[in-house]
Chains A and B, each alone.
Chain A
Amino acid sequence: MDALIESRDTVNRWMERFGVRFGVYKNGVFNEQLFPFDSIPRIISADDWVVLEKGLVQRVNALNKFLYDVYHDKYIIKDGIIPSEFVYSSKGYMPECEGITPTHNVYAHIAGIDLVQAKDGQWFILEDNLRIPSGASYPMIARMITRKVSPQTFQNNAVVDNRNYNKLLGDMMEYMNDDRGISVILTPGRYNSAFFEHSYLAEKTGSILAFPGDLTVENDMVYYTDLDRERHRVGCIYRRVSDEYLDPLVFEPSSLLGVPNLMQAYRKGNVAIVNALGNGVADDKGIYYFVPKMIKYYLHEEPILHNAPTYLPYYKEDYDYILANIEKLVIKDVSEAGGYGVVFGRDLTPKKLAELKQLIIDEPRHWIAQEVIDFKDLEILEGNDRVERKADLRAFVISGNGTKVWQSGLTRFSRNPNSFVVNSSQGGGFKDTWVMEQVQQQ
């Protein structure tokens, strides 16, 4: 293991060689940066993993059922489990998806579930990412490199091989394609922050990387046109373009990233779109609160993984609790994303605290509050010193023919010792995530 840790710079050089980067816009200028790799892995024991895996499958199954229900019969609303306004005033709810049944009824094909571990070892779900969660390519390529650089480490440690992500993804795409044609990965273009991932996943799954303009819809079928003007029917699009840009005739009219009339081909069931449109309604910060209830409602099971204790000011009891305890809570603006609309009550001046209270009183539906979790920090190398930093884990759950959890994940950490925000767009780096093999009992 020490050999691996010492090889950090070698690994980072390999990453540079393969162009493992992510794009950032700073003051309007596009820059491609390396995503710094920290060589101390996050290690998850086989026993811990069993629980995580079960809990993640359960959660994603419930979320998939919820998405189907919300865009069809709405039983969960009729039965009073989720107040209707939480669904319909969610920014992620897309009425355009009403009544559309995606191929094989799957919505959240690739779910990125963010978790944190508390000091006592318990895992908590921080948020669900069901739209276009990114990041799997980084640990995937990191493992390829670390095995090369430090083979003895993997000889001495029984780490589950994670280089099968492309297989999980490829199999799912093939299942969704349903023999209708070719599968493509649709990227907004090379100036997207995750372009490396788009191109790497295309290479590793053997899919065509399609750019805006490569796809056209004619008579409710999607086609990819090649150099000889020959048209190839497309059966599955793993799109990395957001919902609102996907079809300029239905959504944002100024979008140049989309495919006109794609929505109609999708409605007719002639193409699978991965992930489905409209998923934002299920990963909304306001809906998060209800996920444990969904698990009970749809699966008749007790949730295996827990949410961070969350309060919804919409409910009187929670409202009173939040206003009385605001200084010890984390307050999140439900409509914001990307780690910005998150405030710690303890960091605010009395004046700011009073302002925030007023905002909650005015628009209770726009806010949630959570208890601050006592994070278990992870060691990282800062120069040559080991220091502890906040870190989370994004687990990837693939839903196709069954629900499978990738036996690894993206562990992100914050560079800043005082920061809780591990978002890669705000500095920070990543680690490999090791899931250990189950030791055979004699």
Chain B
Amino acid sequence: MIGYAISATKANRLYWLGRYAERVYISLHLLRRYYDRMIDGDSKDEEIEYYKRIDASCTYPDAKSFKLGYMYDKKNPSSLISGIEQANDNAIVLREEIMSETFSYIQLSLCHIQKEADLQDENINNLQCITDYLLAFWGSIDERVFDERIRNLLRMGKLVENIDMHIRFNYPYMRIREAYDALKKCSDCEERIFDPIMLKQLDELITEDEYNVDDLNYKNKVLKYINHLVLL
């Protein structure tokens, strides 16, 4: 019976669950890298660069509050805790699609980060297990979710987010290309939920010759199109 009928609302939830889970996973990775750089360099420069990359709506006065803020500030939409809460908000209504066991990795992440948030320790090492949980989450989807469509919708969210984040942080062409190819495979079976015009535009933009993330115009264009690609 499962997978036999997914409503548009649930499809939207699956997509966003994929996006938020991936956003938290990549943000953890990036924050670790920035916090590491702040050990040696001028931490203010690193903060400012991070803000710029993600078009931050939330800024902090010093390194400590920056670190704590991007981990535990619920009012900061780009913080890890906000991302996990958002992932949980989507996952909670998808229990029967993804199964309790899969859902539990999101719950575990949420419980863990809530407990850590109370401690207000700026060491990001305390959040290693969230990376582990998120990897287990994707593993659990591969192991336990047999419905191709559900997996596809989650994967689409994951790949869109992956491309979005990697472009923001100027990842090299090949990284984007791989994710984009995978996303296009999804579009083969879910034709109707991909905007064909966006797809065509992106096909032209994401080529080895065109790829130029140092050009702000180019970058913003790709970001805009990728976020308008999926019609959910």
Contacts and interface: CB of A to CB of B under 8 A. Distances in A.
Pairing of A with B:
yes
Interface of A: 16-19, 182-183, 190, 195, 199-200, 202-203, 206-211, 213-214, 224-228, 230, 232
Contacts of A207: 1, 96
Interface of B: 1-2, 4-11, 89, 92-93, 95-96, 99-100, 103-104, 107-108, 111, 192-193
A225 B7 CA distance: 6
A203 B107 CA distance: 17
B111 A206 contact: no
Given A18-B100, A203-B96, A203-B99, A227 B8 contact: yes
A403 B2 CA distance: 28
Chain B facing A: main interface SS: helix
A227 B96 contact: no
A223 to B, nearest CB: 10
Given A199-B93, A203-B100, A224-B7, 12 more contacts: A183-B1, A190-B89, A195-B92, A206-B1, A208-B2, A209-B96, A214-B9, A224-B5, A225-B7, A226-B6, A227-B193, A232-B5
A200 B5 contact: no
A281 to B, nearest CB: 33
22 contacts: A16-B107, A17-B104, A17-B108, A19-B92, A19-B103, A19-B104, A19-B107, A182-B5, A190-B89, A195-B92, A199-B93, A199-B96, A208-B96, A209-B93, A209-B96, A211-B9, A214-B7, A225-B7, A226-B8, A227-B8, A232-B4, A232-B5
A200 B95 contact: yes
A202 B1 contact: no
Nearest to B11: A227
A16 B100 CA distance: 12
Contacts of B193: 227
Contacts of A202: 95-96
A199 B96 CA distance: 6
Contacts of A17: 104, 107-108, 111
Contacts of A210: 7
B4 A200 contact: no
Contacts of B99: 203
Given A208-B5, A232-B5, A199 B104 contact: no
Given A182-B1, A199-B95, A226 B7 contact: yes
A200 B100 CA distance: 8
Contacts of A19: 92, 95, 100, 103-104, 107
A332 B186 CA distance: 61
A202 B10 CA distance: 14
Nearest to B7: A214
Contacts of B104: 17-19
Contacts of A213: 9
B107 A182 contact: no
Contacts of A16: 107, 111
A69 B52 CA distance: 71
A230 to B, nearest CB: 8
A18 B107 CA distance: 7
A214 B5 CA distance: 11
A210 to B, nearest CB: 8
Most chain B beta carbons < 10 A, residue from A18, A19, A226: A19
A225 B8 CA distance: 8
A329 B56 CA distance: 65
Nearest to B93: A190
A224 B11 CA distance: 14
A203 B95 contact: yes
Contacts of A18: 100, 103-104, 107
A98 B95 CA distance: 37
B108 to A, nearest CB: 6
The 4 closest A-B pairs by CB, nearest first: A199-B95, A203-B96, A202-B96, A226-B5
A75 B15 CA distance: 56
A47 to B, nearest CB: 35
A200 B101 CA distance: 11
A226 B153 CA distance: 14
A227 B193 CA distance: 9
A210 B7 CA distance: 9
A289 to B, nearest CB: 40
Nearest to A210: B7
Nearest to B153: A227
B59 to A, nearest CB: 28
B230 to A, nearest CB: 12
Contacts of B100: 18-19, 200, 203
A12 to B, nearest CB: 12
A207 B8 CA distance: 17
Contacts of A224: 5, 7
Contacts of A208: 1-2, 4-5, 96
A51 to B, nearest CB: 35
Nearest to A19: B107
A183 B2 CA distance: 11
Contacts of A226: 5-8
